[in-house]
Amino acid sequence: MRILVTAGPTREAVDAVRFLSNKSTGRMGYALAKAAVEVGHDVILVSGPVALTPPDGLLEFVPVVSAADMAEAVKSRASGCGMIVMCAAVADYTPAHPTDRKMKKADGNLFLELKRTEDILKTLGQQKKPGQILVGFAAETDGLEQYARAKLAAKNLDWIAANDVSRPDRGFAAGTNAVTLFAADGRRFDLPLQSKDAIAKEMLAVLLPSPR
């Protein structure tokens, strides 16, 4: 099966030298891409800026910077994919008026106007091909199940991997993770704390019980 995985943060330019981003390191998405290659899938990895080496054996590696870049890269490849896993921590907002030059400071406070980015996963959910499996991630500090299930429904997903990001041993920038997978049909799988590589393998075994 052709599988597209997104990973890492996005960077939203403020000016020529500054950007807004988040704590994502890309490790969970890279682990998922690697695990999918190892099972024999054709894997496209669309990655925001991270300090990781892409796994061997990818069908395609697509480096991107901003949420808009990621949206373009994913949407243009989506129709040929049997499964899309949106693991990237895509910025929800981007500066409304980025400047090409470096901004100079002035006295007083600075107010930055931010505009919403496209919700890539929501667009994919609206354009879902028959049989295509759409998987999202939900990073939450509280109300894990409630918020995750709400996102699953709102974005027309098949699965959502809920991540508690209020604890240092899981989620953003941790070497380990624990996720709960919620399916659109109501099923739930709790994957206990373990390395991100091990979580990735278990996730794939749940998402695609019969390989290829």
Q: Which residues are catalytic?
A: 22
| Closest listed residue to residue 121, CA positions, set 164, 79, 80, 74 | 74
Does 43 bind ligand CTP (CB under 6 A)? Our answer is no
Q: Which residues pair with 161 in a beta bridge?
A: 137, 181
From the list 120, 162, 178, 204, which residue makes contact with ligand CTP (rule: CB under 6 A)?
Answer: 120
Nearer to ligand CTP, 25 or 117 (CB): 117
Report the C-alpha gap between 1 and 22 in whole angstroms: 31
From the list 14, 66, 84, 137, which residue makes contact with ligand CTP (rule: CB under 6 A)?
Answer: 137
Nearer to ligand CTP, 14 or 134 (CB): 134
From the list 3, 35, 45, 121, which residue makes contact with ligand CTP (rule: CB under 6 A)?
Answer: 121
Q: Considering only 33-41, 56-64, 136-144, 181-189, which stretch makes contact with ligand CTP by CB under 6 A?
A: 136-144
Q: Considering only 34-42, 56-64, 133-141, 190-198, which stretch makes contact with ligand CTP by CB under 6 A?
A: 133-141
Q: CA separation (Å) from 72 to 100, 124, 158, 169?
A: 22, 12, 22, 33
Report the C-alpha gap between 108 and 57 in whole angstroms: 52
Does 92 bind ligand CTP (CB under 6 A)? Our answer is yes
Q: Considering only 13-21, 106-114, 117-125, 202-210, which stretch makes contact with ligand CTP by CB under 6 A?
A: 117-125
Q: Is 86 exposed, middle or buried (0-12, 13-18, 19+ CB in 10 A)?
A: buried
**Which run of H or E residues covers position 104?**
none
Report the C-alpha gap between 141 and 120 in whole angstroms: 22
Instruction: Look at strands 42-47 and 2-7 and give their pairing.
Output: parallel
Residue 69 Cβ vs ligand CTP, minimum distance, rounded to whole Å: 12
Nearer to ligand CTP, 138 or 203 (CB): 138
Residue 29 Cβ vs ligand CTP, minimum distance, rounded to whole Å: 9
Report the C-alpha gap between 70 and 120 in whole angstroms: 8
Instruction: Return residues touching ligand CTP (CB under 6 A).
Output: 67, 86, 88, 90, 92, 117-121, 136-139, 151
